[in-house]
Amino acid sequence: MTANYQAHGDVAVITLDNPPVNGLGLATRQAVADAVNRAQADEAIKAIVITGAGKAFSGGADIKEFGSPKSLQEPNLLSLIALVEGSTKPVIAAIHSVMMGGGLELALGCHYRVAAPGTNVALPEVKLGLLPGAGGTQRLPRALGVEPALNMIVSGEPVKSEMLAMLPGQKLFDKITATPASLMDEALAFARSVADVRPLPKVRDLPARHPQGDAYFQFARNMVKGMSKNFPAPAKCVDAVEAATKKKFVDGMAYERELFINLMWTAESRSLRHLFFAERAASKIPDVPSDTSLRDIKTVAIIGAGTMGGGIAMNFLNAGIPVKMLEMKQEALDRGLATIAKNYEAQVKKGKLKQDKYEQRMALLSTTLSYDDLSAADLVIEAVFEELSVKQAVFKELDRVMKLGAILASNTSTLDVNSIANFTARPQDVVGLHFFSPANVMKLLEVVRGEKTAKDVMATVMAVAKKIRKTAVVSGVCDGFIGNRMIEQYGRQGGFLLDEGCTPEQVDKAMEKFGMAMGPFRMGDLAGNDIGWAIRKRRYQEKPHMKYSKTADLLCEKGRFGQKTGAGWYDYVAGKRDAIPNAEVVAMIEAHRKSLGITTRKISDEEIVQRLVFSLVNEAAHILEEGIANKASDIDIVYIFGYGFPAHRGGPMNYADELGLFNVVQAMHRFAQNPLDDAAFWQPAPLLARLAAEGNKFN
Ligand code: T1G
């Protein structure tokens, strides 16, 4: 079903019915057009109500159709809206729950709009690198006023229906119903009350004016410019809305269409649309049915009240889930609690958290020094020292005390979750939950699936991740899982570039110009260079043949661990985050090159970006081949949400697809010729080589 038709006396009710969000795909557009024509032809019908079944009025155009002929096939959305607006009988939109994008544009083509309170109303196209392409930039300013319309279009954020209805002079909503439940009754009554009103009111006939015209739009352009460095869409939103105030409606519509089509074909929009689906796809695990029954997670226990334990606890407290924290010593508990309170108090001071909410959250937190107090918890997360013997002691205790059916999770970032699971007699209940630091801020959560982890445990922790507003990606068990395994190759390339002639600043600036939130050396200073040092020391034992630059070790031998020691690759002033280049570090790198007899060369930003990003891509291709990641889009999500990869590039895999895998492989062959690089590493992973040879893509 895509839309159904029902006559209620002299009012025809057309109900969009295209689950899950009544996307306005071709079949739905066709069904609505047929229903509108049917109501026109039926003399017994005096008015038409359009509404949506299920959990949305309409979530907008069907994004899955973009880039395919279907999205343009008649009746396209513009034609459908024109058909509704040109109806000889009044068309009333009965709106509830969600009205977004093309859904709002369809409602703006109706003659009247009746909405339930609490409806989320938005034009989120800008979040997809687009702008409203079915009249939203021309009708919403007319219905709502230029400024509120532009704010909604440029932010893409939802606003509640009852809030919009309070705007002075607004013509978006003719009525807000008493409750969501009374929507249909009140919409039918409203339809009968306007059945004979002529001429039919059309949003397109309203004026769109702004008293300070040019000055306002100049201000708007300046504001938008600052926030949309890598995205063309927001600035085009301003152009389109300004056109509504300067051009005739039909000309404004033509201009909007031109801007929309152009944006549709930008790499930025393709990347953002890719990420929209990738984020949703990440929560789906191929061999775990979506209807797998979930374990009930009412209370959580956390082992370890350090930085990670405290940050993890906050996620659950924020979601209203009680937490019991265990430490070995009271002063560790006190310190942990104090840190959590301090974090919340900082949010209260900034006005980001209400005092009563803060107190509610803290009331959900309890502490203990005894494992026996944890037995009732449904989920326990261990966040203790990253040492297998310590994890072993913890999981033996958990195995002893936790109730049957409890999920036992480790926050380990590098250790083998299978080994940890085998410390217990219930490996099927053990899973890795790798939070990224700071755990109460970073959205990414790597859910590490052990060989024996039960399917319902996987389904449960993915649902818990959504509840605590994390973007979860499933990883298999390997050293570094997905993100850290790839970042190790990225860091190795950074080291080689220093040996070959780059400064840390040159590499960082090239990557930040590419769009990374931070280049590799600033990132190392932030995370702590000693972390990478510890891993490399392990590597030198495990893989003596693996090639590394020694510069990072030399830096750590000087105790320059980064921000936490006030100095790393860069110098830092207490309380500030600015990375100040340090001449001694540069001299140290130069001296090291001399000791190796290396003749430096000028290295382009392009080579820097390609070697760092393609090192991620090649390692990721191995990760896919080994089944550590289920799909390439999951790897994009890991890098966007966990490592500051630029969203407008869509993630490393999407970026490689955009460049063409053939070109990526050609570049890798060039890198393999460089005697100072690691030729073995640059052999394309078989999956990458095959896709490139086939002219195929990862995603
Ligand atoms: N098109 C296609 N699929 C969509 C969709 C859409 N517009 N919106 C949601 N889905 C799918 C989604 O992929 C997921 O699928 C399922 O619905 C549930 O989504 C011409 C050009 C509406 C607030 O940008 O913001 O109109 O994973 O998990 O949390 O100007 O979905 O189950 O297979 O997000 O309840 C503009 C995007 C389109 C709205 C519901 N509209 N959607 O949130 O569910 S462009 C949007 C959302 C447009 C016109 C332009 C949210 C939601 P699956 P979900 P939710």
Q: Which atom of ligand 1 is nearest to the CA of 136?
A: 30
Q: Whose CA is nearest to atom 14 of ligand 1?
A: 280
Q: How far apart are CA 676 and CA 499, in angstroms?
A: 8
125 is catalytic: yes
Which ligand 1 atom is at minimum distance from the Cα of 131? 30
- 3-state SS string over 296-318? CCCCEEEECCCHHHHHHHHHHHH
Domain 300-475 fold is Rossmann fold (3.40.50)
Rounded Cα gap, residues 275 and 634, in angstroms = 10
Protein residue whose Cα sits closest to atom 10 of ligand 1: 21
Closest C-alpha to ligand 1, atom 22: 59
Q: Which of 85, 125, 256, 505 is catalytic?
A: 125
**pLDDT beneath 70, residues of the chain:** 1
What angle do helix axes 267-282 and 652-659 make, rounded to 10 degrees?
140
Q: Point out the catalytic residue in the list 85, 105, 268, 327.
A: 105
* CA–centroid distance, residue 206 to ligand 1 (Å): 30
How buried is 27 (Cβ within 10 angstroms: 0-12 exposed, 13-18 middle, 19+ buried)?
A: middle
Q: Say which residue the tokens 């502490």 belong to.
A: 367
Scan for tokens 């201009």, then name that residue. Answer: 255
Encode 61-96: b = buried (16+ Cβ within 10 Å), e = exposed: bbbebbeeeebeeebbbbebbbbbbebebbbbbbbb
Ligand 1 centroid – CA 33 distance (Å):
22
Under 8 Å between Cβ of 511 and 605: no
Sign of the Cα torsion 468, 470, 474, 478 reads: negative
| H helices present in 473-578, as ranges | 483-500, 504-514, 520-527, 529-542, 551-557
Residue whose CA is closest, atom 31 of ligand 1? 59
Task: Kindly state the tokens that stand for 608.
Answer: 């820097």
Whole-number pLDDT of residue 386: 87
Exposed / middle / buried, residue 686 (Cβ in 10 Å: 0-12, 13-18, 19+):
exposed
Q: Ligand 1: which atom is nearest the Cα of residue 102? A: 26
Question: What fold does the segment set 3-264 form as a domain?
Answer: 2-enoyl-CoA Hydratase; Chain A, domain 1 (3.90.226)
What residue owns the CA closest to ligand 1's atom 24? 124
Cα 86 to ligand 1 centroid, rounded to whole Å: 28
Question: Could you tell me the distance, in angstroms and rounded to a whole number, from the CA of residue 267 to the centre of ligand 1?
Answer: 20
- Please give the distance, rounded to the nearest whole angstrom, from the Cα atom of residue 324 to the centre of ligand 1: 37
Minimum CA distance residue for ligand 1 atom 37: 59
Ligand 1, residues 21, 96, 257, 284: which to mutate, most atoms within 8 A of Cβ? 21
Question: Rounded to a whole number, what is the distance in angstroms from the first to the last CA of the chain?
Answer: 30
Q: Which CATH number fits domain 483-694: 3.30.1180.20, 1.10.2020.10, 3.40.1360.10, 1.10.1040.50?
A: 1.10.1040.50
Q: What is the per-residue pLDDT for 44?
A: 97
| Range(s) within the chain of domains with CATH label 1.10.1040.50 | 483-694
Q: Which of 589, 597, 596 is nearest to 502 (CA)?
A: 589
Burial 279-293 (b: 16+ CB within 10 A, else e): beebbebeebeeebe
Residue nearest to atom 18 of ligand 1 (CA): 20
Which atom of ligand 1 is the closest one to the Cα of 283?
A: 27
> How does pLDDT run across 140-188, given as a tens digit for each residue?
999 999 999 999 999 999 999 999 999 999 999 999 999 999 999 999 9
Tell me: the pLDDT tens digits for 311-332?
A: 999 999 999 999 999 999 999 9
Give the three-state DSSP class for 63.
helix
- State the distance from the centre of ligand 1 to the C-alpha of 116, rounded, in angstroms: 20
- At 324 the three-state DSSP class reads strand
DSSP character at residue 229: T
Cα torsion 44, 48, 50, 54: sign: negative
Q: In what order do the strands lie in the sheet with 175-176?
A: 3-8, 11-16, 47-52, 91-95, 112-115, 175-176
Q: Which atom of ligand 1 is nearest to the CA of 77?
A: 20
- For residue 601, the 8-state DSSP code is -
* Confidence at residue 1, expressed as pLDDT on a 0 to 100 scale: 57
Cα of 280 vs centre of ligand 1, distance in Å, is: 10
Structure tokens at 417: 């979750």
* Predicted TM-score (pTM) of this structure: 0.93
Task: Give the ligand 1 atom nearest the CA of 66.
Answer: 21
Q: What pLDDT shows up at residue 69? A: 85
Calculate the CA dihedral of residues 548, 549, 553, 555 and round it to 10 degrees: -160
> What lines the ligand 1 site, CB under 6 Å?
20-21, 23, 56, 59-64, 77, 98, 100-102, 105, 124-125, 128, 130, 132-134, 136, 277, 280
| Joined tokens for residue 71 | 């999205």
Mutate to test the pocket of ligand 1, among 26, 28, 63 (most ligand atoms within 8 A of CB): 63
* Alpha carbon of 59 to ligand 1 centroid (Å): 5
The residue whose CA is least distant from atom 16 of ligand 1 is 20
Query: Which residues of the chain form CATH 3.40.50.720?
Result: 300-475
CA of 276 to the centre of ligand 1 (A): 8
Burial classification of residue 541, based on how many CB atoms lie within 10 Å of its CB (0-12 exposed, 13-18 middle, 19 or more buried): exposed
Q: Can you give the pLDDT at residue 535? A: 86
Asked if 347 and 355 count as a contact pair (C-beta separation under 8 A), the reply is no
Task: Return all residues near 3 (Cβ < 8 A) that are at least 6 apart.
Answer: 14, 15, 16, 17, 18, 28, 31, 32, 35
* pLDDT digit string, tens, across residues 609-666: 999 999 999 999 999 999 999 999 999 999 999 999 999 999 999 999 999 999 999 9
Closest Cα to atom 47 of ligand 1: 59
Atom of ligand 1 minimally distant from the CA of 277: 13
| pLDDT at site 220 | 96
Q: Are 25 and 64 in contact (CB under 8 A)?
A: yes
Cβ–Cβ < 8 Å for 156, 136:
no
- Provide the CA 683 distance to its chain's centre, in angstroms: 32
DSSP 68: S
